[in-house]
Amino acid sequence: MPERHPSVGRNGYRIAVVPGDGIGPEVSAAAVQVLEQALGASFPIEFQDYDAGAECFRRTGTAFPEATEIACREAHAVLHGAAGLPDVLFPDGTEAGQDFSMKIRARLDLYANVRPIRLMEGAPRRLVGKGPDDIRFTIVRENTEGLYAARGGGNVIRGQIATDTLVMTREGVERIVRYAAELAQDGQGAPADGVKRVTIVDKANVLRSYAFFREIADGVLAEYPDVEVEHVIVDAMTVHMLERPEHFDVIVCENLFGDILSDLGAAIMGGMGLAPSGEIGRDHGYFQGSHGSAPTIAGKGLANPIACILSGAMMLDWLGKRHSDPALSQAAARIREATGTVLKDGRAVTPDIGGGGSTESCTAEICSVLG
């Protein structure tokens, strides 16, 4: 049985920060700055940096050192910058830095990848005629199974045939669908009609594994009579998300499909630099922006810190609920409000969303609003 989280003692909350690669150190430092500003100097929380990722692999031969794993396991939560560099590869051609992300999900059993899609005032509007009142849904992506479970175990035969195995288990499907159902049950419903709705996205019309996912999902959702259930094939879903995003409330899907759809969702809300995410298990939480390491702009002060900052707010919400600590939830709400103010006013926002600001100036403006 996985260990339980440590209780909060006199030293307060311990957050393991893994800056990672590329822009990761810049955006994670910005998030910590904003978190500390929102919580106040006297709040009992400690942020400690730990090494992992592609640069770590290049220096040490491992992307996830044992000391970092122990720290992440023992911390109350993990805040991550970004992982991976395209030129740091394993012999099989896969990115070495991604080994950290994949392993921490497996080892801490972070089965629910939660990506809120919210269009904020001031963010670029990618969909004509759709505003903040229309775009408010959440993608819940199964995070430990699916096609990505094959990482490191695929086969290439005589340079002619390559195979990877898609893995689904009854337990894995049940728990991710239950997470989505409870999220919908506790939420506001879809913007268009207020209906608490779970949309199951799959390819059940073609593959047995997705038919298996759908069958189990339907069984779980039958336990939630106040939640409406619908099924959408994944290719059709890419169209529906663009044409009628206001219809959706909570979307649940397998790992690979969730990875793809959540990036489309990030574009809908204005860009990857605005998109937060949380990876949740029974005992652990891991939070990072949805974007990659963007090595071409690393060190130039051009990285958008908002995704990581909002991921930090998600972390506070999760900790606040877990430890019945309203001060954390209140700080999270203040961070979102301050970020929204800066975005709406266009104050020092970064070039990816049409501004002329820098990572540092955007962070400073958010801290200034927090006071």
Distance of alpha carbon 291 from alpha carbon 114, whole angstroms: 14
Fill in the DSSP letter of residue 134.
T
Instruction: Clarify whether 352 is annotated catalytic.
Output: no
Instruction: Clarify whether 235 is annotated catalytic.
Output: yes
Torsion, Cα of 352, 355, 356, 360 (10° steps): -70
Instruction: Clarify whether 263 is annotated catalytic.
Output: yes
Which residue in 13, 50, 111, 148 is the catalytic one? 148
Distance of alpha carbon 118 from alpha carbon 308, whole angstroms: 15
Distance of alpha carbon 65 from alpha carbon 77, whole angstroms: 18
Which residue in 193, 218, 235, 345 is the catalytic one? 235
Say if CB 23 and CB 301 are below 8 A apart: no
DSSP SS3 for 37: helix
Which residue in 99, 249, 259, 317 is the catalytic one? 259
Give φ, ψ of 180 to 5 degrees: -65, -40
DSSP SS3 for 139: strand
Distance of alpha carbon 270 from alpha carbon 352, whole angstroms: 9
Which residue in 49, 103, 109, 203 is the catalytic one? 203
Distances (CA, A) of 238 to 36, 44, 128, 244: 38, 44, 16, 10
Which of 62, 45, 49, 58 is closest to 100 using CA atoms?
62
Which residue in 263, 283, 325, 344 is the catalytic one? 263
User: In the structure encoding, which two tokens stand for residue 370, read together?
Assistant: 């927090």
| Residue 167 φ/ψ region, left for φ over 0, alpha for ψ in the -120 to 50 degree band, beta for the rest | beta
Instruction: Clarify whether 203 is annotated catalytic.
Output: yes
Give φ, ψ of 299 to 5 degrees: 80, 5
Q: Catalytic amino acids?
A: 148, 203, 235, 259, 263
